[in-house]
Amino acid sequence: MKSAVYTKAGQVGLAEIDRPQIEAPDDAIIRIVRTCVCGSDLWSYRNPEIEEGHSNSGHEAIGIVEEVGEAVTTVKPGDFVIAPFTHGCGQCDACRAGYDGTCDRHIDTNWSGGVQAEYIRFHFANWALVKIPGQPSDYSEGMLKSLLTLADVMPTGYHAARVANVQKGDKVVVIGDGAVGQCAVIAAKMRGASQIVLMSRHEDRQQMALESGATAVVAERGEEGITKVREILGGGADVALECVGTEVAVEQALGVLHNGGRMGFVGVPHYNNRALGSTFAQNISVAGGAASVTTYDKQVLLKAVLDGDINPGRVFTSSYKLEDIDQAYKDMDERKTIKSMIVMD
Ligand SMILES: [Zn+2]
Ligand SMILES: [Zn+2]
């Protein structure tokens, strides 16, 4: 079967590899129907030290179950499923508290990889997979796009809002206008925020967020951006959702909050020098980490998509065949598309 591999910095190709087999009782083999490129995949794509033939870091897909291990009772061959990037057990303290993105039992095995391929082996399938009613042919392309976001970006945006405890009436600022930031806007609206300000300099992304529930956009950055946000909100924000993962984005998020405000962060951190004590004087609550994909999908997000209450699939502004995966990465890296979807035959 075909699978995407990194060939050198800034280039992805296809390799012919063995089709995966069931290895553990809790495995499922899934035939991929739609997969995509994640902002986090671009870190591997750009890495000048990437070894040739390195497996892709893709981790978001929807597909059809082909085969299951003997311990899997929740899905059967032929079922249409969301393959979350996380693999919680559903039973440990973390999973029961709704933090299956960081399952206590699956410390080094909780994330997917290699999903930009024709087939995958999905480990810890019994609890973590999310069944979708019907078959792909029952859904429009737009609906398939929204279902695909439930493997990562929509639950990740939702996680930022949940850990920051966005509540009815809150004034929320979203830092980051990529797919996760767009989904954080949707999540803040779902949870009843009264005002949602997106910080973005790109007109198409501003427009998308305004259609999803943002009430204002701010293009300025730094001190200028903070001043503008405070003008719009008539003071500091209750909540800032940081969806980038850089120190500049964290500074921006902390800067827009009033004292006692809350920051939720879901951008994978590419900094390590932020001390816990730095928010003491402002009494700011900080929380974040990997999203609880399975929990949110099962509790609220799958229903919200199927009922047409939310349309996160609009973040996929371009589609490609697996053969064109290099272009899919390139267009995202050059910001020509917000998020690239791969349509399998
Ligand atoms: Zn992702
Ligand atoms: Zn667990």
Residues with Cβ within 5 Å of ion ligand 2?
88-89, 92, 95, 103, 105
The pLDDT, as a whole number, for residue 233 is 98
What are the φ/ψ torsions at residue 7 (nearest 5 degrees)?
-105, -40
Separation of 264 CA from ligand 2 center, angstroms?
22
Residue 90 Cα to ligand 2 midpoint, Å, equals 5
Which listed ligand is nearest to 290 at the C-alpha? 1
| Ligand 2 centre distance from Cα of residue 136 (Å) | 29
Res 280: pLDDT: 86
Lowest-pLDDT range of 41-50, 92-101, 213-222, 296-305: 41-50
| CA-to-CA dists, residue 216 to 99, 151, 157, 233, 344, angstroms | 31, 28, 18, 10, 37
Domain ranges of the chain: 2-152+293-343, 155-288
| 3.30.360.10, 3.90.850.10, 3.40.920.10, 3.40.50.720: CATH of 155-288 | 3.40.50.720
**Ligand 1 midpoint to CA 59 (Å):** 6
What per-residue confidence (pLDDT) applies to 279?
A: 86
Q: Which helix (H) or strand (E) holds 340?
A: strand 339-343
pLDDT at 289: 95
Distances (CA, A) of 172 to 22, 60, 164, 184, 191: 45, 27, 10, 10, 11
Phi, psi at residue 230, to the nearest 5°?
-65, -35
Nearest to 146 by CA among 226, 36, 266: 36
Cα–Cα dist 209/15, whole Å: 37
Residue 69 half-sphere exposure toward CB, CA atoms < 13 A: 17
Residues 6+ apart with CB under 8 A from 275: none
Residue 89 has what pLDDT? 97
> For residue range 180-234, what is the model confidence (pLDDT) as tens digits?
999 999 999 999 999 999 999 999 999 999 999 999 999 999 999 999 999 999 9
- Domain 2-152+293-343 carries which CATH code? 3.90.180.10
Contact 151, 183 (CB under 8 A): no
Return the pLDDT at 277. 76
| C-alpha 148 – ligand 2 centre gap (Å) | 23
